[in-house]
A and B are shown apart, each in its own frame.
Chain A
Amino acid sequence: MPNILTAQTVTKRFGGLTAVNTLSIEIPEKSIYSVIGPNGAGKTTFFNCITGFYQPEEGEIVFNNLSIRGLTSDQISQRGISRTYQNIRLFSNLTALENILVGQHALLKSTLFGSIFGTPATKREEAMAVEESRRLLSFVGLSGKGDFLARNLPYGDQRRLEIARALASKPKMLLLDEPTAGMNPNETEDMTKFIRRLRDELGITILLIEHDMRVVMGISEKITVLDYGEKIAEGTPKDIQGNERVIEAYLGRGSAAQITA
């Protein structure tokens, strides 16, 4: 499989703190790839660099054979990268359906004047967009909840809605920032299956930040481990589970020896 995203020596600093340090990563197309690491390791910062929220000081990010460095987040979204957030960030005073409609924004063409005059093309496009939103609602299991305000949905539904909104822009790659945070084991199990479905049925490459090791080890094809902004390990779940540096990063120095002993 060719790589859909390649990051080369990406560095992001905040003042004196280097949040991401010369990080290089290669993500094969249609894979499920995880980035893990202790709190503050720079995982979300790395996500923000990919999606244009931050501009990295150094390094290059190539998506679909084109550099996306220096692009704004709307341009990057239009290239086919979509994301969800660690702390859910829905448009809380819009309905679930409207949230998904906003997700389709870049795919729609209607203009200010088209909307004012209600041209047939605009009406047709709008009707199709609503139809597509309904389809996405049912795809994530929220049928019938489209008219609820996003903020009135229960937590798990909000997570699903956020994914539906991210899918609405028809991304080639989806960045999920801790999608199972705050979920109970059953919900986590559902979400894991759902993520796999996204890849299998829609052919979307998944880049995942996750703390739940059962999820990570269960669905990832490849894992990168970060600590203090640097890559300390990379490989299949099996490689990572036995890696001494990873265990040290999570449990402290000396723990690896105790565990392997």
Chain B
Amino acid sequence: MENESKTNWWLKAIQTGLIGGIVAVLVSLIGMVESFHERDIIAGQITMGETLLLLIVVSFGYFSSRGTEDTPLSKRLTSGALTSLMIGSLTAGLVLVGKVVNLRKVLVNASPNLYKILTFENENTTTAVIVLLIAGAVIGLLASLVHVIPLIWRRAIISGLTIAALIALLQDLIRITLSRFPAFSESIAWMFGSRGEEGLSVNGALVVFIIVTAINFFSATRGDAVRGRVRALPSGTQTALRWTSWGLLGAFLLIWPQIAGPYLSEVSNSIGLFILMGLGLNIVVGYAGLLDLGYVAFYALGAYTMAVLTTTGGEITANIEWTFWQALPVAVLGAVVAGVVLGIPVLKIRGDYLAIITLGFGEIIRIMFLSDFLKPYLGGSFGIVLIASPTLGSTALKTPQTLYYVILAACLVALFVAYRLRDSRIGRAWKAIREDEDVAQAMGINLTTTKLLAFATGAAFGGLSGAIFASKLSTVYPHSFVLLVSINVLALIIVGGMGSLPGVVVGALLLVGMPELLREFSEFRLLIYGALLIAMMISKPEGFLPEAVHKRELHESDNVSHPAGA
């Protein structure tokens, strides 16, 4: 018995190492390492490509040495070292094979440059292999030693490293943003690599790491005490404190485009439009459990309604030329009507079948906009141009920095509505249908009206988002409304946490914001996306910020506590 479990653990370590090795080799062969290598995380010291490989070795080493509470250190160390040694040797194998056979004929990314990176620019293959193996084993040992660090410190250090890496990744954005304020010019030079180099400087990395780690450590050790003291304050002070923090958040959101500049504002606007759609789909899927894969239809309808009603382009027969504000309610209403009309035929349909049918609806709407038959009215594949921008008084809100406020307002309204509905009679009926449709009906819930209300409310948010989208681009084309939009919105709800409002915001930031900011790696975007989704489903299937349990038996005051906010 003893012997058997012994074989098991080291076999397992090797197995984990094999998987890690395959991941490392794959990531190298698809060109990720090489293209990531062009960016420095810490200027002149370590590149993103190296960080990626390091991350693979460390995380697999850490994972394999996890064991249980009472696993002896020696066993952990051996497991970690074995796993990482495997990764090192597979990578070394790649280098060796690459020296003998020209892999490039089949795998275009197996370039000399890649080998250079993998061998740490060592000309001599033998030395390179030895270095790789030793480096693997040593990193594995270090990774398994992480288990010895107390949990609080471990968390603090990991978050410190993550934030530092994140700042280094987004360095050009931060740099551009800060460079608009001359007062920061010296600290920028100190924090980031000098001109021409990228990433954080050594100083900068250290400062960020130390600050974040310290904050995290203190919030973990002292956080409870502070929170306890806050809770001990008189309720008036507590309310004031809560309102102050909401006020600060509000103020930040208001001045954000001024700090961020046009590019980041543009990214924020895209995120905002997806938050709107996410909130809408969250009502349909997250609250009512009706899996809708054609949600893009409402987005498209909102956009086209806005386009037809406000265009001054003159290529389509409609010559309405309304203003943005006149067209907006019609666009939302149009989406609502479409939500009801598309909802009626699927009332009796459940689960997978519903998903397939709604998927069809989404495509029908898109193809309808594309059709030659409707071309005189909807512009066919040429779309509709010269769509009105929102106006405030006599100024048109055309730039990303001004349009931001329209989107922010829309998001706040949508969040407020979704928040209010969550614990209302209707919201409960939706959740009851999600949990068990038959029983919900037997509890006196009218399935027809309740489901149609969910479709209609969800569609309203989608229509709103689409209408703003059309006026943001000032053009609409059918190809903006492909299935992938529906899938993206669904994915952001799942990543954030089904039915959770903060989850929608976090999901949109992650799945819409990150890819926008890392455009240069866009060829790997879907891969990272997929890997992230798989990792999420395995480790945190309920999402990053799952819907919280709303305590209402013992805490009555919860109803009035916080207004909706991002």
Contacts and interface: CB of A to CB of B under 8 A. Distances in A.
B431 A98 contact: yes
Contact of B553 (A53, A103, A123, A144): A144
Interface string A114-131: 011110001100110110
Given A115-B420, A115-B421, A52 B442 contact: yes
Nearest to A162: B439
B548 to A, nearest CB: 11
Contacts of B425: 101, 105, 108, 110, 115, 126, 129
B435 A85 contact: no
B445 A105 contact: yes
B432 interface: yes
A123 B453 CA distance: 21
Given A98-B431, A115-B425, A134 B442 contact: no
Contacts of A94: 428, 431-432, 435
B435 A147 contact: no
Interface in B425-453: 425-429, 431-432, 435-436, 438-447, 453
A74 B433 CA distance: 12
Contacts, number: 123
Report which residue of B447, B549, B551 has the largest number of chain A beta carbons within 10 angstroms of its beta carbon. B549
Given A112-B426, A112-B453, A118-B420, A105 B442 contact: no
A143 B10 CA distance: 52
A52 B439 CA distance: 11
Given A92-B435, A147-B551, A115 B442 contact: no
Chain B interface residue number, banded:
20 to 34
Contacts of B421: 112, 115-116
A146 B429 contact: no
A159 interface: no
Interface in B401-441: 416-417, 420-421, 424-429, 431-432, 435-436, 438-441
Given A93-B431, A106-B445, A147-B552, 20 more contacts: A74-B447, A82-B442, A85-B439, A93-B435, A94-B431, A95-B550, A98-B428, A102-B431, A102-B440, A105-B428, A105-B429, A105-B432, A105-B444, A107-B444, A110-B426, A112-B426, A115-B424, A118-B420, A122-B424, A130-B552
29 contacts: A72-B441, A74-B443, A74-B445, A74-B447, A77-B443, A89-B439, A91-B435, A93-B431, A95-B553, A96-B553, A101-B425, A102-B432, A102-B440, A102-B445, A103-B443, A105-B425, A105-B428, A106-B443, A106-B444, A106-B445, A107-B444, A110-B425, A110-B426, A112-B457, A115-B420, A115-B421, A115-B427, A126-B425, A144-B553
